[in-house]
Chains A and B, each alone.
Chain A
Amino acid sequence: MLLEIDDVSLLYGRIQALHGISLTVDEGEVVALIGANGAGKSTTMRAISGIRPVAAGRIRFQGEDITKLRADLRVRRGLCQAPEGRGIFPGMTVLENLDMGAYTRRDRAGIAQDLNRVLDLFPRLAERRKQHGGTLSGGEQQMLAVGRALMSRPKLLLLDEPSMGLAPMLIQQIFSIITEINEQGTTILLVEQNAQQALARAHRAYVLETGRIVKSGTGAELLHDPAVKEAYLGVA
């Protein structure tokens, strides 16, 4: 197992956001985490990337217990998150943003290689390489966030709502890029409100409701599950 989360609970002050969540991600997989607003999807991501401390439970990455490890050291272990929404550096240019993604690395040749790879994946970013992050459109910022996370050459890429606020065409595009990244060998854990797309692309998926995992299965299984259909796919 690449990532194992075992019975993790998390508190925001006195409000319990996660109630004993357990999930696993195997090498090479795309795993999706779906659920409504406020179900605890982004909170789960924060617990994994180490931005929020967990109250109970264990997180293991490549067999190593990282529950208490600092967020920046988790990046060095190969775990990198693209934050949701506008989590890019607005005052830095596109290239500087991508460069920040490689902050933990020192192998210049490898960084240059990955930069070319990211610019190939996202031709739009190549066009706007000298532009400030803050002046990009929502979709471009989203691409920048994903591209920047790739620059750390992660073993596990965490994507928090990569399709949020995007036009339908862009959503298609970003999901096909996610598949492509996975086919190039990066394991992906994906949080999405867009259940349709996420389930269609994921090998396996978990359904989160008010801080608990209520269902899990392969993407195709959940896509055809009546309860999931009704709650998340807008089909009666």
Chain B
Amino acid sequence: MTTVLERVRSGREAAGERWRGAPRWVRWALLAAVIVFFYALPNREFYQYLGPIPTPGANFTQVMFTVSIYVLLAVGLNIVVGFAGLLDLGYFGFFAVGAYTVAVLTSPSSDVKTLWPWLLAVPVAIGLTMVSGVMLGTPTLRLRGDYLALVTLGFAEMIRIAAVSSEFLKGQRGFNQIPHPPGQYADGKPVFGVLDARPYYWLVLTLIILVVIGVRNLTHSRVGRAWISIREDEDAAQLMGVPTFKFKLWAFAAGAAIAGLAGALFAGKQNFVNSQNFELLNSIIILAAVIFGGSGNIVGAIVGGGLVAYMIERFRGIELFGVELYEYRFLFFGLVLVVMMIFRPEGLIPNRRRAAEFKDRRKEVTVGE
């Protein structure tokens, strides 16, 4: 068993070495090919040749939109959990804040009746989500570990319950006629319509690329070094002169802002937001996706978020012995997670540092024995 595992591991390491050793232009060409592939993916003319990849039980383009939102969320949560090492169990709460901000400001069913266009509401949604992140983080980030996890969990529940029961947020009835993003084709038809999900997917994909470039630059700067040092040893980081609280708050706010953006995009596409969109389960799924993919690694987070969201939809419409597999999707999801945490706790595509940290921790355990 272990030999097979080790062979897989060494094979993967060799692949990683080859990737890092490849000339620059090869890496760029591969990256470009991947990006082109994902832009082409939601076109029927393209995906009909992809065999089992399109989802049988759901509109594949719609699924790809959902997947892209999850990827964006995973990239954002990866900053908080993966880089700064803060366990956030209520990340979806920030997504809800973003979506509801857009809904309240733009929908005719909102009490404030501002009826803003979507585009104007987006920066407000991002800003407000950031503020809510700072408000939640200021009292809690001074604490460590478990406390933060509990407080964030409570936050997400608070948002959900406010959505369900507050008159202002309309509960189950929700907000309708939320405007779509702007833009028209030459013939006067809107780019972002009701039926075709592709433009939304392309929009999210483009934003993912921009966000990833931004996050990458950030992690290679002093800010990134500070985050990594906090994750690895918070006391030592402080002893080296890193203002740990400030940087934790920054990570929290940056993560929140990305979730707010995702929420705003979701509201603009869905055209309708109600309290059923924001279950606690969503927070757990995204966290699991980041850990599954390899927390601390941007590529890992993207792959994790994408795979998890896609697999859940992929089960739809598959029957086995007269049982709809979709009903059991979380059973499989849980199973995969358990197996994963036993054999590969650092995730599918781990960060190299992260792998070293895990090794170090294992060593610590053996020393203590």
Q: A interface vs B, CB < 8 Å?
A: 49-51, 70-73, 75-76, 80-83, 86-92, 96, 99-101, 103-104, 132-135, 148-149, 152
Contacts and interface: CB of A to CB of B under 8 A. Distances in A.
B196 interface: no
A83 B235 contact: yes
Per CB-CB distance, the 7 closest pairs between chain A and chain B, nearest first, are A134-B360, A91-B353, A75-B241, A90-B360, A104-B241, A132-B356, A91-B357
Interface string B221-249: 01001101100110111111111100000
A99 B221 CA distance: 13
A152 B353 contact: no
Interface of B: 222, 225-226, 228-229, 232-233, 235-244, 351-357, 359-361, 363-364
Contact of A91 (B232, B235, B237, B241): B232
A99 B241 CA distance: 12
Nearest to B353: A91
A103 B225 CA distance: 9
A89 B238 contact: no
Given A86-B364, A132-B353, A92 B239 contact: no
A132 B244 CA distance: 22
Contacts of A75: 239-241
Nearest to B355: A91
Nearest to A49: B239
B342 to A, nearest CB: 22
B239 A80 contact: yes
Contacts of A152: 240-241
Nearest to B238: A71
Given A86-B364, A100-B225, A91 B356 contact: yes
Contacts of B237: 100
Contacts of B361: 90
A31 B366 CA distance: 35
Contacts of A73: 241
A231 to B, nearest CB: 28
23 contacts: A72-B238, A72-B242, A72-B243, A75-B240, A80-B239, A80-B241, A83-B235, A87-B236, A89-B229, A89-B232, A89-B236, A90-B233, A90-B356, A90-B357, A91-B351, A91-B353, A91-B354, A91-B356, A92-B228, A96-B225, A100-B229, A135-B359, A148-B240
A86 B242 CA distance: 18
B268 to A, nearest CB: 39
A90 B232 contact: yes
Contacts of B226: 103
Contact of A103 (B240, B355, B364): B240
Contacts of A89: 228-229, 232-233, 236
A199 to B, nearest CB: 26
Contacts, number: 95
A83 B236 CA distance: 7
Contacts of B355: 91
Nearest to B236: A87
Given A134-B356, A134-B359, A88 B236 contact: yes
B238 A51 contact: yes
A85 B243 CA distance: 22
Contacts of A103: 222, 225-226, 229, 240-242
A51 B235 contact: yes
Given A88-B233, A92-B353, A51 B239 contact: yes
A96 B232 CA distance: 13
B232 A71 contact: no
A132 B225 CA distance: 15
A132 B357 CA distance: 9
Contact of A87 (B235, B352, B363): B235
Given A88-B233, A134-B359, A71 B239 contact: yes
Contacts of B352: 91
Nearest to B354: A91
B232 A87 contact: no
A73 B244 CA distance: 11
A186 B319 CA distance: 73
B357 A134 contact: yes
B82 to A, nearest CB: 12
B142 to A, nearest CB: 11
Contacts of B228: 89, 91-92
B233 A87 contact: yes
Contacts of B359: 90, 134-135
A99 B242 CA distance: 12
A75 B226 CA distance: 15
B54 to A, nearest CB: 39
Contacts of A101: 240
Given A90-B356, A90-B357, A100-B225, A134 B363 contact: yes
A92 B228 CA distance: 9
B240 A100 contact: yes
Given A49-B239, A83-B236, A149-B239, 7 more contacts: A51-B238, A76-B241, A80-B239, A91-B353, A100-B225, A100-B229, A103-B229
A83 B235 CA distance: 8
A100 B245 CA distance: 17
Contacts of B222: 103
Contacts of B244: 72
A149 B236 CA distance: 10
Nearest to A89: B232
A70 B240 CA distance: 12
Contacts of B353: 91-92, 132
Nearest to A99: B225
Contacts of A50: 238
